[in-house]
Homo-oligomer: A and B are copies of this chain.
Amino acid sequence: MEVNRKVSGHRATLKEVAAELGVSASTVSNAYNRPDQLSKELRVRVFETARRLEYGGPDPMARSLRRRWAGAIGVVYADRLSYAFADPAAVMFMQGVSVATEEAGLGMLLVPGSPRQARVPEAAGGAVVDGFIVYCLAEDGPLVDAALERRLPTVLVDQPPKESLPAVGIDDEGAARAVAEHLIGLGHTNFGVVSFGLDTDTRSGLADLERRRYATYWPSRRRLRGYADALEDGGISWEETPVYECAENYPDEGRRAAEALLSLEPRPTAILALSDQLALGALKAIEQRGLSVPKDVSVAGFDDIPEASRSTPRLTTIRQPHVEKGLKAGRMLVAQLNGEEAQESEILPSRLVVRGSTGPA
Protein backbone atom coordinates (compact mmCIF):
# COMPACT_ATOMS: atom_id res chain seq x y z
CA MET A 1 0.00 0.00 0.00
CA GLU A 2 1.31 3.41 -0.89
CA VAL A 3 0.66 6.46 1.18
CA ASN A 4 -0.11 9.85 -0.27
CA ARG A 5 0.25 12.83 1.89
CA LYS A 6 -2.90 14.41 2.97
CA VAL A 7 -3.71 17.64 1.24
CA SER A 8 -4.91 19.18 4.43
CA GLY A 9 -5.87 22.75 4.95
CA HIS A 10 -3.26 25.42 5.27
CA ARG A 11 -1.44 25.40 8.55
CA ALA A 12 -0.20 28.62 10.09
CA THR A 13 3.52 29.23 10.12
CA LEU A 14 5.81 31.07 12.42
CA LYS A 15 6.09 33.81 9.86
CA GLU A 16 2.37 34.37 9.83
CA VAL A 17 2.25 34.63 13.57
CA ALA A 18 5.04 37.17 13.37
CA ALA A 19 3.23 39.17 10.69
CA GLU A 20 0.00 39.16 12.65
CA LEU A 21 1.79 40.56 15.67
CA GLY A 22 3.93 42.93 13.70
CA VAL A 23 7.17 41.47 15.00
CA SER A 24 9.96 39.61 13.30
CA ALA A 25 10.05 35.88 12.77
CA SER A 26 13.14 35.67 14.94
CA THR A 27 11.21 37.00 17.85
CA VAL A 28 8.48 34.42 17.52
CA SER A 29 11.11 31.76 17.20
CA ASN A 30 12.77 33.06 20.32
CA ALA A 31 9.48 32.97 22.17
CA TYR A 32 9.59 29.21 21.78
CA ASN A 33 13.29 28.55 22.00
CA ARG A 34 14.94 31.29 24.03
CA PRO A 35 12.50 32.89 26.39
CA ASP A 36 15.25 35.12 27.77
CA GLN A 37 15.55 36.90 24.47
CA LEU A 38 12.31 38.80 24.70
CA SER A 39 10.08 40.42 27.27
CA LYS A 40 7.68 38.34 29.28
CA GLU A 41 4.70 40.28 27.97
CA LEU A 42 5.55 39.90 24.34
CA ARG A 43 6.10 36.22 24.84
CA VAL A 44 2.64 35.89 26.25
CA ARG A 45 1.21 37.78 23.33
CA VAL A 46 3.06 35.53 20.93
CA PHE A 47 1.51 32.45 22.47
CA GLU A 48 -1.89 34.06 22.43
CA THR A 49 -1.66 34.88 18.79
CA ALA A 50 -0.30 31.44 18.08
CA ARG A 51 -3.31 29.86 19.71
CA ARG A 52 -5.64 32.16 17.87
CA LEU A 53 -4.10 31.31 14.51
CA GLU A 54 -3.99 27.63 15.43
CA TYR A 55 -0.25 27.64 15.17
CA GLY A 56 1.02 24.54 16.93
CA GLY A 57 4.60 25.60 17.48
CA PRO A 58 7.67 25.36 15.29
CA ASP A 59 7.45 22.70 12.64
CA PRO A 60 9.64 19.77 13.67
CA MET A 61 10.75 19.05 10.12
CA ALA A 62 11.97 22.56 9.53
CA ARG A 63 13.50 22.64 12.94
CA SER A 64 15.31 19.38 12.38
CA LEU A 65 16.70 20.59 9.11
CA ARG A 66 17.85 23.87 10.49
CA ARG A 67 19.29 22.45 13.68
CA ARG A 68 20.61 19.35 12.00
CA TRP A 69 19.21 17.32 14.81
CA ALA A 70 16.31 14.89 14.62
CA GLY A 71 15.87 14.07 18.29
CA ALA A 72 15.44 10.39 17.62
CA ILE A 73 17.43 7.27 17.04
CA GLY A 74 16.54 4.53 14.61
CA VAL A 75 16.32 0.89 15.52
CA VAL A 76 16.81 -1.40 12.58
CA TYR A 77 15.65 -4.95 13.13
CA ALA A 78 16.48 -8.13 11.31
CA ASP A 79 13.02 -9.05 10.34
CA ARG A 80 9.52 -7.75 10.20
CA LEU A 81 8.86 -5.54 13.15
CA SER A 82 5.81 -7.52 14.02
CA TYR A 83 8.05 -10.51 14.66
CA ALA A 84 10.17 -8.44 16.98
CA PHE A 85 7.16 -7.75 19.13
CA ALA A 86 6.37 -11.44 19.21
CA ASP A 87 9.85 -12.37 20.40
CA PRO A 88 10.30 -11.86 24.15
CA ALA A 89 14.05 -11.51 23.74
CA ALA A 90 13.65 -8.73 21.19
CA VAL A 91 11.06 -7.01 23.32
CA MET A 92 13.41 -7.01 26.27
CA PHE A 93 16.12 -5.62 24.07
CA MET A 94 13.90 -2.82 22.90
CA GLN A 95 12.93 -2.14 26.45
CA GLY A 96 16.57 -1.58 27.26
CA VAL A 97 16.95 0.75 24.33
CA SER A 98 13.88 2.65 25.39
CA VAL A 99 15.37 3.27 28.80
CA ALA A 100 18.41 4.80 27.18
CA THR A 101 16.41 6.94 24.78
CA GLU A 102 14.20 8.18 27.57
CA GLU A 103 17.19 9.14 29.64
CA ALA A 104 18.37 11.21 26.73
CA GLY A 105 14.96 12.58 25.81
CA LEU A 106 15.18 11.04 22.37
CA GLY A 107 12.52 9.30 20.35
CA MET A 108 12.93 5.73 19.21
CA LEU A 109 12.07 5.14 15.60
CA LEU A 110 11.38 1.58 14.58
CA VAL A 111 12.40 1.33 10.98
CA PRO A 112 10.01 -0.78 8.96
CA GLY A 113 10.60 -3.61 6.62
CA SER A 114 11.79 -7.15 6.29
CA PRO A 115 14.67 -8.29 4.11
CA ARG A 116 12.06 -9.60 1.74
CA GLN A 117 10.59 -6.25 0.97
CA ALA A 118 11.92 -3.95 -1.65
CA ARG A 119 11.20 -0.62 -0.05
CA VAL A 120 13.33 -1.42 2.93
CA PRO A 121 16.56 0.35 2.06
CA GLU A 122 14.58 3.44 1.34
CA ALA A 123 13.02 3.19 4.75
CA ALA A 124 16.33 3.08 6.56
CA GLY A 125 17.74 5.64 4.19
CA GLY A 126 14.85 7.97 4.74
CA ALA A 127 14.58 7.74 8.49
CA VAL A 128 14.78 11.08 10.23
CA VAL A 129 17.17 10.05 12.97
CA ASP A 130 20.51 11.01 14.46
CA GLY A 131 21.90 7.51 14.69
CA PHE A 132 21.16 3.85 14.33
CA ILE A 133 21.10 0.74 16.41
CA VAL A 134 21.37 -2.19 14.06
CA TYR A 135 19.98 -5.28 15.72
CA CYS A 136 20.75 -8.76 14.55
CA LEU A 137 20.54 -8.10 10.87
CA ALA A 138 21.66 -10.38 8.11
CA GLU A 139 25.14 -9.01 7.93
CA ASP A 140 25.23 -8.25 4.26
CA GLY A 141 21.61 -7.30 3.85
CA PRO A 142 20.53 -4.19 1.99
CA LEU A 143 19.05 -2.78 5.14
CA VAL A 144 22.29 -2.69 7.02
CA ASP A 145 24.00 -1.15 4.02
CA ALA A 146 21.34 1.48 3.75
CA ALA A 147 21.83 2.32 7.40
CA LEU A 148 25.61 2.38 7.17
CA GLU A 149 25.61 4.50 4.06
CA ARG A 150 23.98 7.23 5.97
CA ARG A 151 27.23 7.48 7.89
CA LEU A 152 25.44 8.31 11.06
CA PRO A 153 26.68 7.20 14.43
CA THR A 154 25.79 3.53 14.67
CA VAL A 155 25.96 0.75 17.18
CA LEU A 156 25.89 -2.86 16.07
CA VAL A 157 24.16 -5.50 18.15
CA ASP A 158 24.65 -9.22 17.74
CA GLN A 159 26.52 -8.54 14.55
CA PRO A 160 29.97 -9.29 13.28
CA PRO A 161 32.43 -6.44 13.72
CA LYS A 162 32.25 -4.02 10.84
CA GLU A 163 34.10 -0.88 9.87
CA SER A 164 35.29 -0.38 13.41
CA LEU A 165 31.78 0.43 14.55
CA PRO A 166 31.16 -0.16 18.22
CA ALA A 167 29.23 -3.32 18.92
CA VAL A 168 27.39 -5.02 21.75
CA GLY A 169 26.87 -8.73 22.01
CA ILE A 170 27.63 -11.89 23.90
CA ASP A 171 29.99 -14.75 23.30
CA ASP A 172 27.49 -16.78 21.32
CA GLU A 173 30.00 -19.39 20.38
CA GLY A 174 31.26 -19.98 23.90
CA ALA A 175 27.75 -20.06 25.27
CA ALA A 176 26.58 -22.57 22.71
CA ARG A 177 29.62 -24.67 23.42
CA ALA A 178 28.75 -24.64 27.10
CA VAL A 179 25.23 -25.99 26.54
CA ALA A 180 26.48 -28.69 24.24
CA GLU A 181 29.22 -29.69 26.67
CA HIS A 182 26.69 -29.85 29.47
CA LEU A 183 24.68 -32.39 27.50
CA ILE A 184 27.73 -34.33 26.44
CA GLY A 185 28.71 -34.45 30.08
CA LEU A 186 25.35 -36.05 30.80
CA GLY A 187 26.26 -38.83 28.43
CA HIS A 188 24.34 -37.83 25.34
CA THR A 189 25.73 -38.86 21.99
CA ASN A 190 22.74 -38.43 19.69
CA PHE A 191 21.96 -34.80 19.08
CA GLY A 192 19.47 -32.86 17.04
CA VAL A 193 19.60 -29.13 16.50
CA VAL A 194 16.68 -26.76 15.98
CA SER A 195 17.94 -23.63 14.29
CA PHE A 196 16.75 -20.29 12.99
CA GLY A 197 16.59 -19.78 9.27
CA LEU A 198 20.11 -19.85 7.93
CA ASP A 199 19.57 -17.69 4.92
CA THR A 200 17.25 -14.98 3.75
CA ASP A 201 15.20 -17.47 1.79
CA THR A 202 12.42 -18.60 4.04
CA ARG A 203 13.10 -22.28 4.06
CA SER A 204 12.28 -24.91 6.62
CA GLY A 205 13.97 -28.29 6.71
CA LEU A 206 17.26 -30.04 7.31
CA ALA A 207 20.33 -27.98 6.53
CA ASP A 208 23.50 -29.34 5.01
CA LEU A 209 26.99 -28.56 6.24
CA GLU A 210 27.53 -25.75 3.78
CA ARG A 211 24.41 -23.98 4.82
CA ARG A 212 25.25 -24.30 8.48
CA ARG A 213 28.69 -22.89 7.97
CA TYR A 214 27.62 -19.85 6.02
CA ALA A 215 24.56 -18.93 7.99
CA THR A 216 23.59 -15.37 7.19
CA TYR A 217 22.84 -14.36 10.72
CA TRP A 218 25.83 -13.89 12.90
CA PRO A 219 24.41 -15.33 16.13
CA SER A 220 23.19 -18.43 14.30
CA ARG A 221 26.56 -18.99 12.77
CA ARG A 222 28.39 -18.54 16.03
CA ARG A 223 26.07 -20.74 17.99
CA LEU A 224 26.18 -23.54 15.46
CA ARG A 225 29.92 -23.21 15.48
CA GLY A 226 29.92 -23.60 19.26
CA TYR A 227 27.76 -26.70 19.09
CA ALA A 228 29.93 -28.12 16.32
CA ASP A 229 33.16 -27.64 18.21
CA ALA A 230 31.81 -29.12 21.40
CA LEU A 231 30.39 -32.16 19.62
CA GLU A 232 33.51 -32.81 17.60
CA ASP A 233 35.62 -32.46 20.74
CA GLY A 234 33.36 -35.01 22.36
CA GLY A 235 33.89 -37.40 19.53
CA ILE A 236 30.49 -36.86 18.00
CA SER A 237 30.19 -36.21 14.26
CA TRP A 238 28.81 -32.75 13.55
CA GLU A 239 28.21 -33.63 9.97
CA GLU A 240 25.89 -36.46 10.92
CA THR A 241 24.09 -34.38 13.50
CA PRO A 242 20.83 -33.23 11.98
CA VAL A 243 20.17 -29.50 11.97
CA TYR A 244 16.61 -28.50 11.24
CA GLU A 245 16.14 -24.87 10.34
CA CYS A 246 12.96 -22.94 11.02
CA ALA A 247 11.79 -20.09 8.87
CA GLU A 248 10.52 -18.20 11.87
CA ASN A 249 11.37 -17.99 15.51
CA TYR A 250 8.05 -19.17 16.88
CA PRO A 251 7.36 -22.07 19.24
CA ASP A 252 5.18 -23.70 16.66
CA GLU A 253 8.02 -23.84 14.18
CA GLY A 254 10.17 -25.37 16.89
CA ARG A 255 7.53 -27.98 17.47
CA ARG A 256 7.50 -28.95 13.83
CA ALA A 257 11.27 -29.07 13.72
CA ALA A 258 11.43 -31.31 16.76
CA GLU A 259 8.81 -33.61 15.27
CA ALA A 260 11.00 -34.02 12.22
CA LEU A 261 14.07 -34.67 14.32
CA LEU A 262 12.29 -37.21 16.50
CA SER A 263 11.32 -39.21 13.46
CA LEU A 264 14.92 -39.73 12.48
CA GLU A 265 16.89 -42.91 13.10
CA PRO A 266 18.63 -42.96 15.50
CA ARG A 267 16.32 -40.75 17.46
CA PRO A 268 18.19 -37.91 19.17
CA THR A 269 18.26 -38.02 22.94
CA ALA A 270 19.21 -34.38 23.17
CA ILE A 271 17.82 -31.40 21.33
CA LEU A 272 19.73 -28.16 21.12
CA ALA A 273 17.61 -25.18 20.16
CA LEU A 274 18.96 -21.82 19.07
CA SER A 275 16.32 -20.04 21.07
CA ASP A 276 13.94 -20.68 23.92
CA GLN A 277 11.01 -19.99 21.65
CA LEU A 278 12.02 -22.92 19.51
CA ALA A 279 12.92 -25.04 22.54
CA LEU A 280 9.47 -24.49 24.03
CA GLY A 281 7.99 -25.81 20.83
CA ALA A 282 10.27 -28.81 20.98
CA LEU A 283 9.06 -29.52 24.50
CA LYS A 284 5.54 -29.67 23.17
CA ALA A 285 6.46 -31.95 20.28
CA ILE A 286 8.08 -34.39 22.66
CA GLU A 287 5.10 -34.38 24.95
CA GLN A 288 2.76 -34.96 22.03
CA ARG A 289 4.79 -38.00 21.07
CA GLY A 290 4.16 -39.43 24.50
CA LEU A 291 7.81 -39.09 25.41
CA SER A 292 9.05 -37.47 28.56
CA VAL A 293 11.55 -34.70 29.17
CA PRO A 294 14.26 -35.20 30.27
CA LYS A 295 13.88 -38.98 30.70
CA ASP A 296 13.60 -39.79 27.00
CA VAL A 297 14.84 -36.57 25.45
CA SER A 298 16.71 -33.62 26.87
CA VAL A 299 16.07 -30.13 25.55
CA ALA A 300 18.16 -27.00 25.89
CA GLY A 301 17.33 -23.53 24.67
CA PHE A 302 19.06 -20.20 24.38
CA ASP A 303 18.13 -16.74 25.73
CA ASP A 304 16.46 -17.48 29.06
CA ILE A 305 13.28 -15.64 28.27
CA PRO A 306 10.82 -15.47 31.18
CA GLU A 307 8.74 -18.33 29.80
CA ALA A 308 11.77 -20.59 30.03
CA SER A 309 11.49 -20.73 33.77
CA ARG A 310 7.75 -21.28 33.71
CA SER A 311 7.51 -24.22 31.36
CA THR A 312 7.19 -27.80 32.54
CA PRO A 313 9.81 -28.95 32.84
CA ARG A 314 11.67 -25.72 33.22
CA LEU A 315 14.11 -25.09 30.46
CA THR A 316 17.88 -25.45 30.58
CA THR A 317 19.17 -22.52 28.63
CA ILE A 318 21.72 -19.73 28.22
CA ARG A 319 20.96 -16.62 30.14
CA GLN A 320 21.88 -13.41 28.47
CA PRO A 321 21.10 -9.88 29.61
CA HIS A 322 18.67 -8.76 26.94
CA VAL A 323 17.51 -5.59 28.60
CA GLU A 324 21.03 -4.61 29.46
CA LYS A 325 22.10 -5.27 25.92
CA GLY A 326 19.58 -2.73 24.70
CA LEU A 327 20.47 -0.31 27.44
CA LYS A 328 24.19 -0.56 26.69
CA ALA A 329 23.65 -0.17 22.98
CA GLY A 330 21.38 2.80 23.53
CA ARG A 331 23.79 4.52 25.87
CA MET A 332 26.70 3.89 23.56
CA LEU A 333 24.82 5.54 20.76
CA VAL A 334 23.81 8.46 22.93
CA ALA A 335 27.44 8.87 23.94
CA GLN A 336 28.43 8.98 20.31
CA LEU A 337 25.76 11.56 19.63
CA ASN A 338 27.24 13.62 22.41
CA GLY A 339 30.48 13.64 20.56
CA GLU A 340 32.32 11.17 22.71
CA GLU A 341 34.61 9.39 20.36
CA ALA A 342 36.12 5.99 20.92
CA GLN A 343 33.30 3.71 21.97
CA GLU A 344 34.58 0.31 22.98
CA SER A 345 32.69 -2.72 21.83
CA GLU A 346 31.33 -4.82 24.64
CA ILE A 347 30.84 -8.50 25.19
CA LEU A 348 28.20 -8.96 27.83
CA PRO A 349 28.25 -11.92 30.20
CA SER A 350 26.13 -14.96 29.55
CA ARG A 351 25.91 -18.24 31.37
CA LEU A 352 24.43 -21.68 31.32
CA VAL A 353 21.35 -22.11 33.49
CA VAL A 354 20.66 -25.76 34.15
CA ARG A 355 17.06 -26.62 34.89
CA GLY A 356 14.78 -29.57 34.57
CA SER A 357 14.70 -30.07 30.83
CA THR A 358 18.10 -31.74 30.63
CA GLY A 359 19.12 -34.98 32.28
CA PRO A 360 21.28 -38.07 31.84
CA ALA A 361 21.01 -39.91 28.55
Contacts and interface: CB of A to CB of B under 8 A. Distances in A.
Interface of A: 1-7, 11, 54, 56-57, 59-65, 67-72, 74, 80-82, 84-86, 91-92, 94-95, 98-99, 101-114, 119, 122-123, 125-130, 149-151, 153, 310, 334, 336-339
The 10 closest A-B CB pairs, nearest first, are A85-B95, A81-B98, A61-B64, A61-B65, A108-B110, A128-B128, A5-B69, A56-B149, A102-B112, A60-B128
Given A91-B91, A105-B113, A105-B122, 16 more contacts: A1-B105, A3-B104, A4-B338, A6-B336, A56-B125, A56-B151, A60-B128, A61-B64, A72-B128, A74-B107, A82-B99, A85-B94, A107-B110, A107-B111, A108-B112, A310-B310
Contacts of A70: 60-61, 128
Given A82-B102, A126-B63, A130-B5, A110 B112 contact: no
17 contacts: A2-B105, A4-B339, A6-B130, A6-B336, A6-B338, A57-B150, A60-B129, A64-B65, A71-B123, A80-B98, A81-B95, A81-B102, A82-B99, A86-B95, A105-B122, A106-B112, A107-B112
A129 B110 CA distance: 12
A209 to B, nearest CB: 35
A104 B61 contact: no
Given A61-B64, A123-B105, A153 B6 contact: yes
A67 B106 contact: no
Contacts of A95: 81-82, 85-86
Contacts of A102: 80-82, 112-114
A81 B65 contact: no
A103 B68 contact: no
A92 B85 contact: yes
Contacts of A60: 70, 125-129
Contact of A6 (B82, B129, B339): B339
Contacts of A68: 5, 61
A11 B109 CA distance: 23
Contact of A57 (B86, B107, B114, B149): B149
Nearest to A311: B310
Contact of A112 (B7, B54, B105, B150): B105
Contacts of A105: 1-3, 112-113, 119, 122-123
Contacts of A7: 339
Contacts of A81: 95, 98-99, 101-102, 108
Contacts of A104: 1, 3
A198 to B, nearest CB: 24
Nearest to A327: B82
